[in-house]
Amino acid sequence: MKCKYPNSIHLIRGNHEDRWINNGFGFSDECMNRLNEDPDEEDSVFSRINDLFDWLPLGAVISNKIICLHGGIGSSVNYIEEIDHL
C-alpha cells in the first residue's frame, strides 16, 4: 500500500519493529538459518532491517485529533503532551 499510495499511507513502528523483540522471538534465528549469516554483524540483513525500523516513527497524529499507535499508550503516560517527549 505504501508503494502504491506513498503520500497517503504512513508507516509507524510496532512491537515487531524492535531489535530486542526480533532477536528474542525468532527473526535473528531466521536470518541466521536461511541466510547463513551472523545477525550480530553490522552489515547483516538482520542488522540492516532493524536499522531501518529505527527510522519509523512510534506514532502519528492526524489533524491534531487522532493519534495512531500500534499497541496503545503505555500506563506510564498520563497526558497526551507527554508523548512529545518520547
Distance between the two ends of the chain, CA-based, in angstroms?
27
Residue 13 in contact with residue 58, Cβ under 8 Å? yes
Q: Is-catalytic flag, 70?
A: no
How far apart, in whole angstroms, are the C-alpha atoms of residue 62 and residue 31? 36
Residue 16 grid coordinates = 515487531
Which residue of the set 10, 16, 70, 85 is catalytic? 16
Catalytic residues: 16
